[in-house]
């Protein structure tokens, strides 16, 4: 069984497409989302965005944190035997 979900959390005029499938009652993500920070990829910064003062104060980059999606997809780092892959 497949579930298709459209969301609008990107800039106006752009939508995000999510395709989920059910397997033995567990919901898996298909990782079709695109954007900065998706799939665990690095968030590219320009020279003016590289301000280390907030990082030194908070221990994380607040600019990047505010600009990546909370529901971003991350790679599955489990061992293949644990995630059901053959």
Torsion of CA 58, 71, 81, 25, to 10 degrees: 140
Which of 27, 41, 30, 28 shows the shortest CA–CA distance to 69? 41
SS3 annotation, the chain = CEEEEEECCCCCCCCEEEEEEEECCEEEECCCCCCCCHHHCCCCCCHHHCCHHHHHHHCCCHHHHHHCCCCCCCCCCCCCCCCCCC
pLDDT of residue 59: 85
Q: Is the pTM of this model over 0.75?
A: no
pLDDT at residue 10 is higher than 60: no
pLDDT of residue 15: 57
pLDDT at residue 74 is higher than 60: yes
pLDDT of residue 19: 58
Cβ-based neighbour number of residue 13 at 10 Å = 6
pLDDT of residue 35: 79
Residues 47-73 pLDDT 10s? 777 777 777 888 888 888 888 888 777
pLDDT at residue 17 is higher than 80: no
């Amino acid at each position: 069984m497949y579930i298709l979900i459209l969301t609008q959390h990107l800039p106006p005029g752009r939508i995000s497409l999510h395709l989920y499938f059910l397997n033995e009652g567990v919901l898996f993500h298909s990782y079709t989302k695109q954007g900065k920070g998706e799939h665990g990829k690095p968030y590219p910064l320009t020279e003016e965005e590289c301000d280390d003062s907030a990082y030194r104060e908070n221990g994380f980059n607040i600019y990047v944190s505010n600009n990546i999606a909370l529901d971003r997809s991350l790679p599955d780092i489990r061992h293949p035997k644990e995630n059901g892959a053959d």
